[in-house]
Structure 1
Amino acid sequence: MMVQIGLIALLVVAYIIVSRILKSSVNLLGQKKFANEVRITYVSKMLNLGFTAIFVLLICLVLGIGYGQLAIFFSSVFAVVGVALFAQWSILSNITASLIIFFGFPYRVGDWVKVVDKDDEILGQVLEISTFHVIIHRLSGDIVTYPNSLILQKAVIRFESREAAQAMSQFTASSTSTNKVEDQSASS
């Protein structure tokens, strides 16, 4: 019994330490990537939720709850969650893609990008990377909300500047006149 109490105390201390390290690491990475504060908080909470589930599993094992009982419990929970989310698979895939984009997406807010899509030109500046969408302000003046799960499936070209993006745009003439009007109104 004393061994179990000691192991639980050790697990609690390890949980607190690793949780703080995880949160500070995500905050540091988010600041390095110029991510929105809300996005950093969201990613921290999602990772903390997963880490907490692992912690609870370890506590159950230390308390002597058998693998069979844990397997039945977790398979029941996953079955209920799976059925509940089956109809919402696109939401789940966008949330998962959101985490992948946070850690591995080579583009940041403010970058000029072109999503290679045969149906439409999606070329512009990344305004925000949210939980479900990447929001792009196109050269034509429109704002596009592109789903996270789709942007991971498409090729994305990053441009060094607005001028380089304009050179690749089919809206060059109209966007140049629009930009002159915007520049004139901004200087007035």
Structure 2
Amino acid sequence: MEELIIEYQRELVGTVVCILILLISRFISIKAIRKVGKLRDIHEARTRLIIKYVSVGHTILLVSVLIFVWGINVKDLGLVFSSVFAILGVALFANWSILSNITAGVILFFSFPFKIGDRIRILDKEVPDEAVIIDIKAFYFHMINDHGEQLTYPNNLLLQKGVVLIEKQVHLDEDGTGIL
């Protein structure tokens, strides 16, 4: 066991340093996201969703750095990655709207002026009524109009269409499905 540790001492130290840097970076990122969520009074579920996205990004970055720390043959790795990316490229091209909705969800978290409980009108002929935002998910906005109909609207279209803020913080009933 000691021989193994001595032989791979440089890689083990590099791994420990990378993991420590990742943990510190992740801690700082999560603190910053929670602070932005609190300052902008963003719903806790939305904040946790963005934290999950950031954690996955940190993990992917850590794995990428560790591949280089351990000196894995880049030619062999290139062949594996090119094959994986070719398959993912075809799959993601087929599902590009899912990625655009997730990206729009992250953008909406950091820069969107509307919150759960706000009454809005989307300037889209297919959504003629005003509605109250009852939930914001990774892919969709969930709203309820004055007729009690629940509407689901994709995040990426919300960024593309004009939105009018009618009233801030309309009071919803306890289960969030109706207006008081």
Once residues 63 and 43 of structure 1 are traced to their aligned partners in structure 2, the CA distance between those partners, rounded to angstroms, is: 30
C-alpha displacement at 1:68, in angstroms? 3.5
Q: TM (normalized to structure 1)?
A: 0.74
Give the one of 114, 118, 130 matched to 1:123.
130
C-alpha displacement at 1:2, in angstroms? 3.5
C-alpha displacement at 1:151, in angstroms? 0.7
Give the fraction of aligned pairs with identical amino acids, expressed as a percent. 34
Q: 1:161 to 1:34 in 2, by over 3 A?
A: closer
Once residues 65 and 88 of structure 2 are traced to their aligned partners in structure 1, the CA distance between those partners, rounded to angstroms, is: 21
* 3-state SS of 2:113 partner: coil
Give the structure 2 partner of residue 29 of structure 1: 36
Q: 1:40 to 1:20 in 2, by over 3 A?
A: same
C-alpha displacement at 1:162, in angstroms? 8.6
Q: Please provide the CA RMSD for this pair.
A: 2.7
C-alpha displacement at 1:12, in angstroms? 1.2
Give the one of 92, 95, 113 matched to 2:99.
92
Q: Gaps spanning 5+ residues in structure 1: where?
A: 164-181
Letter of the aligned partner of 1:108 in structure 2?
K
8 Å CA contact retained: 2:121, 2:130: yes
Once residues 159 and 33 of structure 2 are traced to their aligned partners in structure 1, the CA distance between those partners, rounded to angstroms, is: 21
Give the structure 2 partner of residue 76 of structure 1: 83
Once residues 32 and 157 of structure 1 are traced to their aligned partners in structure 2, the CA distance between those partners, rounded to angstroms, is: 22
* 3-state SS of 1:135 partner: strand
Give the structure 1 partner of residue 175 of structure 2: none
Q: 1:24 to 1:162 in 2, by over 3 A?
A: closer
8 Å CA contact retained: 2:119, 2:131: yes
Give the one of 124, 139, 142 matched to 2:146.
139
Paired residues, number? 166
Instruction: Return the structure number with greater helix share.
Output: 1
Post-superposition, which runs of at least 4 consecutive aligned residues in structure 1 deviate over 4 A? Answer: 160-163
Q: 1:44 to 1:161 in 2, by over 3 A?
A: closer
